[in-house]
């Protein structure tokens, strides 16, 4: 039973951890997909 | 009167001339060179329409009148020509959007995907998952629970260590949550909105998306753990052929000998690794849109090998627009997930209600020795030693 409970705990930790890492690493759609200035797409 | 007759003669002459031109083969004369009703109908039927008649008709900015002239500021392209340039990706666009998708202002290749996603895919899901569930229920009614045939010994053998069970449960729990949230996304519009309304579904959908996107990492990590933990025991060998020939004793009769994993479990293992791996890769492609384009390159390679021709099909579409990459990734992700879910249904059945003593392997890590002798006789010999088979486990 311990491995099962540990797995559920790990599931929660990994999920929130991954979310925080991605949020703080500039991977959001806004960060990756926009520019503050008009740009030519060939730039 | 003479003027009137002359007018009639002129009209008839020009009408005959126009008719002759159409008969000569200019199928777009009736629309002034634009697309025809036949084009639209062919496109709606999913047939390939030759777009060259309009993809190149995007005006000529170099021929624009100087801005000092009348109408000079209109440039060298009319509005229809400008929209054609947008549609066929030749317009000079300035935008704040970054990334490959920004180059596509009009994407008109996705209607087949939308129809497949909202209709065919749901039908496949219902038949595949519902059919598997019913087949297992029927099997249970006919075959019943597979009992331990011999006398129980009261002794146990360690089947899986704690780390193995941790990996299994991390994979299982993440897969179940991913499956449920994935089905929420798949059936949301058709089932959940009519059942719960838009506002409630909005809450469910936002939560499902967050959970699905973030628990995916636990699934990927668990997949890696179980691969390295069990790959050695899941390499195929000759005992698998004998096990398969007797269908594992599933329908009665003696249990064929098996090592730590029998051939059925090996098939489950490799299905999880291969299909789970494919789901993970396509999931990463969806998680980071337009970053990992999997299908265009694959289609191009298959076309160069002539693979579609082997099946009498025409070449696969290439190149793909960025949105089309995502559409193919979504369909692939969903279809492979549904197939793996159906397989896992059978795995869950046999690991729980379908077989006496099987759940202990993952529940406690210890299995009844008699169960082990019946289902994994070669493994028991390996664990206890050939001479110690009848001895008690210390």
B380 and B319 belong to one structural domain: yes
- Taking the CA of residue B170 and the nearest CA in chain A, the distance in Å comes to 5
- Predicted confidence (pLDDT) at residue A41 exceeds the cutoff of 80: no
B115 and B156 belong to one structural domain: yes
- Would you call A33 and B174 a contact, using CB atoms and an 8 Å cutoff? no
Check the CA dihedral B317-B320-B324-B325 and report its sign.
positive
Name the residue range of residue B74's domain: 34-92
- Would you call A15 and B170 a contact, using CB atoms and an 8 Å cutoff? no
- Of B47, B64, B92, which residue constitutes the final position of a domain? B92
Q: Residue B267: what pLDDT?
A: 96
- Tally Cβ neighbours within 10 Å of residue B62: 6
Q: Residue B250: what pLDDT?
A: 73
Q: Residue B15: what pLDDT?
A: 52
B284 touches chain A (CB under 8 A): no
Give the residue numbers in A contacting B (CB under 8 Å), as ranges.
1-4, 6-8, 10-11, 14-16, 18-19, 27, 29, 32-41
- Would you call A10 and B170 a contact, using CB atoms and an 8 Å cutoff? yes
Question: How is residue B335 annotated by DSSP?
Answer: H
What is the rounded distance in angstroms from the CA atom of residue B357 to the CA atom of residue B377? 15
Distances (CA, A) of B368 to A23, B160, B163, B251, B278: 48, 13, 20, 22, 36
Q: Residue A4: what pLDDT?
A: 94
Q: DSSP characters for B74-121?
A: GTT--HHHHHHHHHTT-S--EEEE-SGGGG-S---S-HHHHHIIIIIH
Q: Residue A14: what pLDDT?
A: 96
Q: Residue B93: what pLDDT?
A: 76
- Taking the CA of residue B124 and the nearest CA in chain A, the distance in Å comes to 30
Strands B94-97 and A34-40: antiparallel
Q: How many folded domains does chain B comprise? A: 2
Cα dihedral B300/B303/B307/B308 (nearest 10): 110
Q: Residue B38: what pLDDT?
A: 87
| Interface size between A and B, measured as CB pairs under 8 A | 81
| pLDDT block averages, 10 residues each, chain B of length 394 | 59 50 59 83 81 84 74 72 86 74 79 91 97 96 88 92 96 97 94 94 95 97 97 94 85 82 95 97 91 90 94 89 92 97 96 91 92 92 70 46
Residue B126 in domain: yes
Residue B18 in domain: no
Distances (CA, A) of B316 to B48, B115, B154, B331: 12, 19, 60, 16
- Would you call A6 and B217 a contact, using CB atoms and an 8 Å cutoff? no
Q: Residue B91: what pLDDT?
A: 83
Residue B288 in domain: yes
The ipTM is 0.84
Q: Residue A38: what pLDDT?
A: 59
Q: Residue B291: what pLDDT?
A: 82
Q: Residue B20: what pLDDT?
A: 45
All residues of chain B having their beta carbon less than 8 Å from the beta carbon of residue A8 are 169, 173
**Secondary structure E strands in B283-343:** none
Residue B25 in domain: no
What is the rounded distance in angstroms from the CA atom of residue B208 to the CA atom of residue B223? 21
Phi, psi of B390 (to 5 degrees): -95, -5
Q: Residue B170: what pLDDT?
A: 97
Coil vs helix vs strand at B183? helix
Check the CA dihedral B83-B86-B92-B93 and report its sign.
positive
Q: Residue A29: what pLDDT?
A: 67
Q: In terms of Cα–Cα distance, which of B327, B329, B320 is closest to B300?
A: B320
Residue B287 in domain: yes
B60 and B151 belong to one structural domain: no
Token readout for B231 is 């790959």
């Amino acid at each position: 039973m311990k491995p099962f409970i540990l797995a559920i705990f790990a599931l929660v930790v990994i999920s929130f951890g991954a979310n925080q890492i991605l949020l703080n690493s500039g991977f959001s759609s806004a960060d990756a997909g926009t520019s503050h200035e008009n740009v030519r797409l060939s730039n | 009167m003479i003027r009137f007759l002359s007018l009639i003669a002129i009209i008839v002459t020009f009408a005959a001339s126009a008719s002759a031109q159409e008969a000569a083969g200019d199928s777009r004369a009736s629309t002034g060179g634009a697309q025809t009703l036949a084009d639209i109908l062919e496109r709606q039927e999913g047939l390939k329409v030759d777009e060259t008649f309009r993809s190149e008709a995007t005006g000529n900015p170099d021929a624009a009148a100087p801005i000092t002239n009348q109408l000079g500021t209109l440039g060298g392209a009319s509005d229809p020509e400008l929209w054609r340039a947008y549609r066929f990706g030749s317009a000079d666009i300035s935008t704040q959007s970054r990334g490959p998708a920004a180059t596509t202002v009009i994407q008109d290749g996705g209607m087949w995907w939308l129809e497949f996603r909202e209709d065919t895919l749901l039908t496949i899901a219902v038949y595949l998952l519902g059919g598997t569930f019913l087949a297992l229920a029927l099997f249970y009614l006919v075959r019943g629970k597979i009992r331990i045939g011999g006398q129980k010994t009261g002794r146990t053998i360690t089947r899986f260590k704690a780390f193995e069970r941790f990996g299994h449960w991390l994979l299982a729990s993440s897969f179940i949550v991913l499956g449920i949230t994935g089905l929420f996304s798949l059936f949301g519009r058709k089932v959940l909105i009519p059942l719960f309304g838009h506002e409630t579904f909005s809450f469910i959908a936002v939560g499902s998306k967050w959970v699905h996107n973030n628990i995916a990492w636990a699934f990927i990590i668990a997949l890696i753990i179980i691969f390295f933990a069990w790959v050695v025991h899941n390499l195929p060998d000759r005992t698998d052929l004998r096990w398969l020939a007797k269908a594992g004793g599933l329908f009665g009769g003696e249990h064929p000998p098996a090592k730590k994993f029998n051939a059925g479990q090996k098939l489950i293992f490799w299905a999880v690794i291969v299909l789970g791996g494919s789901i993970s890769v396509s999931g990463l492609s969806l998680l980071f849109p337009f970053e990992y384009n999997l299908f265009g390159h694959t289609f191009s390679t298959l076309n160069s090998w002539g693979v579609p021709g082997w099946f009498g099909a025409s070449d696969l579409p290439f190149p793909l627009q960025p949105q089309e990459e995502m559409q193919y990734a979504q369909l692939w992700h969903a279809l492979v997930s549904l197939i793996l879910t159906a397989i896992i249904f059978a795995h869950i059945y046999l690991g729980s209600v379908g077989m006496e003593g099987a759940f202990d392997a993952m529940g406690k890590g210890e299995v009844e020795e008699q169960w082990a002798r019946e289902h994994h006789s070669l493994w028991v010999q390996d664990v206890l030693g050939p001479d110690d088979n009848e001895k008690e486990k210390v």
